[in-house]
Structure 1
Amino acid sequence: MKQLFTLVGLLSMAIIYSACDEETGFKAPDENPSTFSEVAHITIGGETAAEIADFDPKTKQLFVVNNDGESRIDVIDLSDPATMSKTGSISIASYGAGVNSVAVGGDYLAAAIEAETKTDNGKIVVFNLSDLTEVAVINAGALPDMVTFSPDAKYILSANEGEPSDDYKTDPIGSVTVVMVDGFTSTTLDFTSFNSFQAEGFRVSGPDADLAHDIEPEYITVSPDSKTAYVALQENNGMAIIDLETQKITSLVSLGLKNYAANGDQVDPSDEDDKIEFRDVPANIFGVYMPDGIAAFEVGGETYVISANEGDGREYLYDADEATCDANGGDYDEDDGCLAYGDEERLKKLDLLESAFANADDIQEDEAFGRWKAMKTDGDSDSDGLYEKVYTYGARSFSIWDAEGKLVADSGDELEKAVHAAGLYDDGRSDDKGVEPEGVAVGEVNGKMIAFIGLERVDAIAVYDVSVPSSPMFLSILETGDAPEGLVFISAEDSPVDKSLLVVSCEDDGTVWVYSPEVFM
């Protein structure tokens, strides 16, 4: 997956209503965070043309990943969002196969570049923001898929997914590269010292993989004090915590399970019942959070991490004839090719333990829960072929965690019901991961901490007040282009128009959207 948000200008001092920053003289506008609406949008290409973006407040330029055709970083003049325009591009062709992510920090623009062979080590390329010339090329791990700066711009970090080859014959280790901006020296951290965590229940699902090879770092966020990095380990349903001063991974946290039944959270699990119906979930069917985008923020001196609980199954297909596929131990399909490995299965195809699922036949009907995609690798604890529990991908929600990775709050079933109320719910995704929360950005608007959650499969953004982390409050739903991927919050102080802005890049239609709130009258 791609980088999903960038937080620009998160203020270290709380802004109160219509307050004036004594250091800068900036007077914060009296904005209403419930009223974000579209200012304008621009098309910069087709599919994959607008994946990830970041903003430089000094030059008032937006930098957007564009892999439609020749891989490049497009430059957009955002000095007037209502009339934004593309002014140039930075070619990435000489550095590798494609650009996956960009980030702005201090005087620099950083880009994550994957190698021509994705299992080889990639690069982080750094450019001067003043003239967009190359400053440094830094070796990273395999498949650097997301890059970010620490808030103080002293560190650059990349999440190196280390995805296996399509035939699953080569599986590099996942890693995180930490770059000291002063001198551009780097350290790449891997997870080999944590292999014992597999025996302690940390999810490892790849074939014959140890934890270090199975881990695929997805996303990174850094605490507001720039001391701690948090890394989303999506496929492993976990989070790593890194001490940036020592440049060591200090802990791995398993995020646990979402108990739909105990929480009273409903889902619409079927795409074949000709209706949108939110239903109570039977006992022993759980959601596995598996976050994609994460964002760190601070309230009352405490650090929190908000996660978009997308979920992600593994499916590795490659081109091969039937004989070759069979010889390699794959599953051949005339239309799809050779499946080297997959961990998804329809719930109706799992053999359920009757004592755990008394009404298994009813549950497994297509019109009930039978179409819901579940993990075939987990839930049969004694390997007798009968599933005592069913684990589904993602949680159809966002969650807030404390600095140690303990759950503080979860949005439950509110995202999907809010989208349905707005008339945007896609019933065709009910059997998969629903609205698929993918990215998240957090910023301060008129003294309130506001979260924006990208909902990839319904082309929307959910807006929440998370000023009280234990009790997130829903504010609104914003419509976007096709498949919102990257979210950038720009504070009013850093904004070219002295108003808070939200920038959303949409990868399936190549559009970039800008939103702003109204000012209280």
Structure 2
Amino acid sequence: MTYRALCLTSAIALTASAAAAEMNFNRIASFPVVANMADGEDLARESSAEIISASADGMTLVYSDSPLGVIGMIDITDPANPQPKGNVTLEGGEPTAVSALGNTVFVGVNTSESYTAPSGFLLHLDMATGAEAARCDLGGQPDSTAVAPDGSFVVVAIENERDEDAGDGRVPQMPAGHVSIIPLDGNGMMQCDAQVRANVTGLADIAPEDPEPEFVDVNANGEIVVTMQENNHIVVLSATGEVLSHFSAGSVDLENVDATDERAALLFNETLTSVPREPDGIQWIDNDHVVTANEGDMDGGSRGFTVFHKDGTVIYESGASFEHAVVQIGHYPDRRSDAKGVEPEGMEAAVFGDTPYVFLLAERASVIGVYDMTDPANPVLKQLLPSGISPEGAVAIPSRNLLATANEFDGLEDGAARAHVMIYEYQDAPASYPHITSAGMEMLTGWGANSGMVADTDGTIWAVNDSFYGFQPTIFHIDPSQTPAQIKHAIPVTRGGQPAQLMDMEGITLDGEGGFWVASEGRLDRGVLHALYHVNGDGEIETTIPVPSELLAVERRFGFEGITKVGNTLWMAVQREWADDPANHVKLVAYNLETEEWGAVRYEKAEPETGWVGLSEITAHGDYVYIIERDNQIGDAAVTKKVYRVALSEMVPAPLGGDLPVVAKEEVVDLLPYLTSTGGYVLDKVEGLAIAQDGTMWVSTDNDGVDDHSGETMFFAIDGKF
């Protein structure tokens, strides 16, 4: 298998000025974990990257892959070009967590026959050979693992997780969990006979008889902190298993959140009260303070993080602030609104230079919050990093200025991206992400699923979202002169003063009079017309023009994907072949605003190597119309992501229903190098194209509303003076 080196050296990567001295984390590579399968293996099997650790020298990453039943390893000698080191197959169980010590790794292995008969062991492996060094029975189902900083012991959270289909999915469900502490000798070998199984029953207010330890971490003093997520409780233990302190994780009130699922609109106008934190991940940030990722499970999930003193005192509560920051960069997962929002789950803490950081992983938003923890009572959000889909684990390697995340979602069955490990570098350089934000607007404004674009005469850009937000069609006004580009205004598209529905906005162009023409891609089986809409400057639809019968007779669901205006004629690109089109030919459809006549020409697109190829945007500039042609492939499978142009002299529409002339096209830009500029895999939906009067070309991607998608929106300039 081959895959592209993904680094920040492309033509569009942001560069630091001579005066810049601010350190930032930037993604430099993306490794698909399917690349660790051996030659001849069936790649069409689910795989995942869940919990991740690193060797002592920082040259090897090791991660758990539960669906495949393996431990995967990656060579990051050159972190911008990671190489597969293969998988170690585990016999008789599934890995739940990994923690490295030196060049060995401890693996929690779940062998449970049922929820009521949990079992598992801790496996000790040599990274170089994959050979087993030892194993210890744990007396239950392991979840997370951690190694003491001084290498004196390894600790395992024995969750004995509940059956969500039994007892209304609530605790108590016996048997109870515990915490296993296994001493290590001077050679780092486990002393199984000296294992301590710390009893943490009778502590929590919720189901005290059935603790479910979830996540563990150890500080420099050898103190162990444990979250019990379903019990909404935190326990601090000594290295010998003595309870040093314990306390409820408490609850939070949240304002300005979206707590209603699947209403196809981003509306942050609700309040939640007394939400249990129910923390998952936890990390020591010094010897006295811990920070929790408040994912939630049964009743809670406060959508942020909390800093506690180890005596239980709340030092800082983020409330909804983290989620709001995620909203502003277009990563809010609307279809998970009633299920804990952005869902912070895992985290990592480390010191880079002299600065202590916490990296907060938002599982459903697929984003990483980077917080400066210099003052634990006043964390400062420094960055939001793009991730693969569903970041589950992270490991920091300060000695090499590196951070890596494991992203568990495998889109094999959904046609989405496969599971990836992402690598970031701490650099003396500007942050390369996000590309666009709504931060600074008077009202908290969410956005996503951006499709068509058009440039205005003042250099600003107008964009529309598509039918993912069917109850909130919106026109966005973007100032691209700032970094990141700033959404300045959001204009709701209305019909009779109410949010317009049953439309799928895929293209926008200016009408020359302060309003817009919008192209809607039809979906007749859902009541969505193939149509053109004239929208005034306030967003009200003034005119609806359905396509004529000649087009309806041959229509297919893949319709208008872009619109542009040339003189008195509107031109629309049809995404894929309709019933009367030859193979690999699509229509560019014309509508004359004066004569109200329809016509078309044909455009020959690339023959797909895999999947399909279609058109996704059209815009006029100078003596040409420019067209985005793309396949529906992701990552290394992507081949066609290009901008072509057709001379206006070729754009002479013929009447519908007859022979249509085929226009000549010229390749202008291959977008693949630009689509890897932030170190990620190639996103499939390149859907926005706008060209400013000075010839600067702007390109954007559609993030599918963060549904089975990483949520990334790329918005970048190609300064070719087109």
- Do both share a fold (TM > 0.5)? yes
Deviation for aligned residue 1:430? 1.3
Residue identity in the other structure for 1:89? N
Out of 244, 252, 276, the position equivalent to 2:266 is 276
**Which of 413, 422, 435 pairs up with 1:513?**
422
Distance 1:272 1:84, change over 3 A: closer
Runs of 4+ residues deviating >6 angstroms? none
Structure 1 pair 114–55 and aligned structure 2 pair: CA distance change class (3 A): same
Residues 40-59 of structure 1 aligned to structure 2 (within 5 Å): 40-45=29-34, 47-58=46-57
Q: Which amino acid aligns with 1:253?
A: F
Match of 2:288 in 1: 303
- For 1:435 and 1:143, locate their aligned partners in 2 and report how far apart those are by CA, in whole Å: 28
2:128 is aligned with 1:221: no
The one of 255, 267, 274 aligned to 2:257: 267
Residues 47, 507 of structure 1: 8 Å contact kept: no
Superposed displacement of residue 413, structure 1: 1.2
Measured in 2, the distance between the counterparts of 1:58 and 1:31 equals 27
Does structure 1 retain, via aligned residues, the 8 Å contact 2:253–2:319? Answer: no
- Asked if 2 retains the 8 angstrom alpha-carbon contact of 1:142 and 1:160, the reply is yes
After TM superposition, the structure 1 = structure 2 runs for residues 378-389 of structure 1, keeping only pairs within 5 Å, are none
Counterpart of 2:64?
65
Kept in 2, the 8 Å contact 1:462–1:478? The answer is yes
> Structure 1 residues 169-178 or 462-471, which shifts more?
169-178
CA distance in 1: counterparts of 2:76 and 2:118, whole angstroms: 36
Q: 1:249 Cα shift? A: 2.7
SS in 2 for 1:247: coil
Q: Secondary structure at the match of 1:281?
A: strand
Aligned length, in residue pairs: 381
- Counterpart amino acid of 1:247? G
Letter in 2 for 1:276: L
Aligned AA (1:55): A
The equivalent of 1:138 in structure 2 is 136
Distance 2:381 2:343 in 1: 17
| Structure 1 residue 87, shift from structure 2 partner | 1.5
Specify the alignment match of 1:254 in structure 2: 248
| Shift in CA distance, 47/421, structure 1 to aligned 2, threshold 3 Å | farther
Distance in structure 1 (CA, Å) of the matches to 2:25 and 2:229 = 30
Q: In the alignment, is the contact (CA less than 8 A) between 1:36 and 1:515 conserved in 2?
A: yes
Change in Cα spacing, 1:167 to 1:281, as seen in structure 2 (3 Å) is closer
* More relative contact order, 1 or 2 (CA 8 Å, 6+ apart): 1
Contact persistence 1:31–1:446 (CA under 8 A): no
Structure 2 residue aligned with 1:446: 353
* Partner Cα distance (1:66, 1:485) in 2: 11
Structure 2 partner of 1:8: none
| Deviation string, structure 1 residues 206-234 (Cα, Å, up to 9, x no partner) | xxxxx23x211000011123x21000100
Structure 1 counterpart of 2:402, from 474, 486, 501: 501
Q: Percentage identity across aligned positions?
A: 28
Distance in structure 2 (CA, Å) of the matches to 1:40 and 1:107: 23
- 1:230 maps to a residue whose letter is V
Equivalent runs, 1:438-477 vs 2, <5 Å? 438-477=345-384
Counterparts of 1:331-480 in structure 2, within 5 Å, are 375=299, 393-480=300-387
Write out per-residue CA displacement over residues 386-434 of structure 1, whole angstroms, 9 at most, x where no aligned residue.
Answer: xxxxxxx111111111121221001121111111110111111111100
Stretch moving more, 271-280 or 52-61: 271-280
TM-score, L = length of structure 1: 0.69
Amino acid at match of 1:277: L
Unaligned 5+ segments in structure 2 are: 1-19, 35-44, 168-172, 411-418, 431-722
Alignment of 1:115-264 (within 5 A): 115-118=111-114, 119-165=117-163, 168=166, 171-182=174-185, 184-185=191-192, 186-191=194-199, 194-195=201-202, 197=203, 202-204=205-207, 211-212=208-209, 214-225=210-221, 227-244=222-239, 246-260=240-254
Match of 2:93 in 1: 97
3-state SS, counterpart of residue 424 of structure 1: coil
Q: 1:242: Cα distance to partner? A: 0.6
Instruction: Look up the SS of the partner of 2:327 in the other structure.
Output: helix
User: Quick check: 2:407–2:421 contact (8 Å CA) kept in 1?
Assistant: yes
Q: Deviations over 1:447-487 (max 9, x none)?
A: 11111100000111111111100001111111111111011
- Provide the secondary structure at the position in 2 that maps to 1:481: coil
* Alpha-carbon separation, structure 2, partners of 1:139 and 1:43: 33
> 1:311 and 1:445, CA in 2 relative to 1: closer, same or farther beyond 3 A?
same
- Corresponding letter in the other structure for 1:409: Y
TM-score, reference length from structure 2? 0.50
Q: CA deviation at 1:89?
A: 2.0
Give the counterpart letter for 2:296 in structure 1. Answer: G
Question: What amino acid does structure 1 have at the position aligned with 2:191?
Answer: F
Note if contact 1:269-1:430 (Cα within 8 Å) is conserved in structure 2. Answer: yes
Q: Which has more radius of gyration? A: 2
Do the aligned partners of 2:293 and 2:344 also contact (CA within 8 Å) in 1? yes
Q: Which residue of 2 aligns with 1:292?
A: 280
**Structure 1 residues not aligned, in runs of 5+:** 1-29, 205-210, 314-374, 376-392
Letter in 2 for 1:395: S
1:147-192 CA-to-partner distances (Å, cap 9, x unmatched) read 1101111111111111245664973210111000115234343536
Q: Give how far 1:48 is off.
A: 4.5
Alpha-carbon deviations, 1:218-258, whole Å to 9, x = none?
A: 00011123x210001001111111111x3323333112111
Question: Conserved in 2, the CA contact under 8 Å of 1:486 and 1:504?
Answer: yes
Q: Secondary structure at the match of 2:288?
A: strand
